[in-house]
Amino acid sequence: MTTHHYSDLQVCVLAAGKGKRMRSNLPKVLHKVLGRAMIDHILHTVELLRPKGIAVVTGHASELVREHVGQPANLEWVIQDKQLGTGHAVKQCEKVIRDVRDVLIVCGDTPLLQVETLEKLVSEHRQSASDVTVLTANPANPFGYGRIVRDENGHVTSIVEEKDASDSERSITEVSSGIYCVRYEVLFALLHAIGNRNAQGEYYLPDIVPLALNAGQSVEAVMMNDADEMLGVNDRVHLAHVEDVMQKNIIQEWQRRGVTVEKPDTVRIEAGVSIGIDTVIQAGCYLIGSTTIGDGCRIGPNAVLVDAWLDDRVNVYAFSHIQGAAVGSNTQIGPYARLRPEARLDEGVHIGNFVEVKKSVVGTGSKINHLTYIGDASIGSDCNIGAGTITCNYDGANKFVTEIGDNVFVGSDTQLVAPVRVGDNATIGAGSTITRDVPTDGLTLSERSTQKHIKGWKRPQKDKR
């Protein structure tokens, strides 16, 4: 994690492209990679540099991008009305960038980019006193990227786009990542000098390299350690590939931090998830959104956790689903249990198979082990809720609350018709329908019909004629 504070650095994020090949109504940078929009990944990374400011260049559906990101204090929005190339896009930032030493230019569709790589770029740019420094890579397949052309002494002379490159230039394996660090005092003069005499009729940002050299300015290149960091997204095939790479990196990082991930290829752990040490994530688990898991937990197999919060030593059995719920320590859930939003389980709770809990509090040590629905309820400590129990919380128009005290035993197949309150230490007999408050202590049960036996009675038979 970065410890630098680049108070004299401006970041420019290029996010104006429509992304035609995505075939989507969404701007390209709003497509998600492991639960976060690509623009969110990039902004999170550059914010770690603590720059003076961030300028985001938008174009297509800019209002959607602005609505998604909001208005951080150090962020300026810049509109590129016509998409005339990357050089034209950066030039639109001239009116918002002032009084900085350098401008760092990054792409909004490269979510794998790491802050350590950007630190390396800025640091080497400044150490070499370069006017223009480009971040380069040596990928296994350079197709589609601008090639770094060097002279016989190894000095950068130009960057040639794939579509404009000759056969010999296409054989070059060192490519531009599209990320630059440029001295502020020279940047906009270079951008104003760019022409558009190329196959696309656009103003290419890489053209600042030969312009700088012709003006006697210095150009350097810094190679990134991992070429995957520059992977951009142009279509949904690229999107899936980038997500696969990020997922592998995230899982390996959690493994290094003390988390066991069984069958990693079957597990999804999104970027916003947090996991404690000695936790085991079993095959097929999906950990989504802002899910937080404590130490010593066991999740899965095939459990799904969405924006869930689990304390230490929680055991989630197979095929359970937890969304927007908070779970106390030493709790057991499942298999096949469902915790819906605003469910809160205190310490040592047991939630068993085919139990659903919604917008309810379950107190310390209570057990709800089988085939039960608990909704809009509060349950005290050390209760035992029998199989088939239902809190009847909805009358067709309004929701009502069921309140159950401490040390209550509810027999199987009980319906608690809210609003209703059950006192401490009460026992409710099996098969009861409770419509009035239950006093503390003692046994409460509803009237049961008389059991009869009709001798000789036979089931109806189908007419087989």
Beta pairing partners, 91: none
Catalytic machinery residues: 370
Q: Phi, psi (5° rounding) for residue 370? A: -150, 130
CB count, 10 Å around CB of 129? 9
The Cα-based distances of 91 to 135, 195, 201, 203, 205 in angstroms read 20, 13, 16, 10, 9
Lookup result for tokens 């085991």: 280
Sheet of 268-269, strand order: 268-269, 286-288, 304-306, 321-323, 338-339, 356-358, 373-375, 390-392, 415-417, 433-434
Biggest CA-to-CA distance, the chain: 110
CA separation for the pair 2, 351 (Å, rounded): 42
CB of 367 closer than 8 Å to CB of 353: no
CA separation for the pair 34, 270 (Å, rounded): 5
DSSP letter (8 states) at residue 265? G
With 0-12 CB in 10 A as exposed, 13-18 as middle and 19+ as buried, what is 454?
A: exposed
CA separation for the pair 10, 286 (Å, rounded): 38
Q: Are strands 292-293 and 9-15 parallel, antiparallel or unpaired?
A: unpaired
Sign of the alpha-carbon torsion through 276, 279, 283, 284: negative
Q: Phi, psi (5° rounding) for residue 226? A: -125, 110
CA separation for the pair 369, 173 (Å, rounded): 61
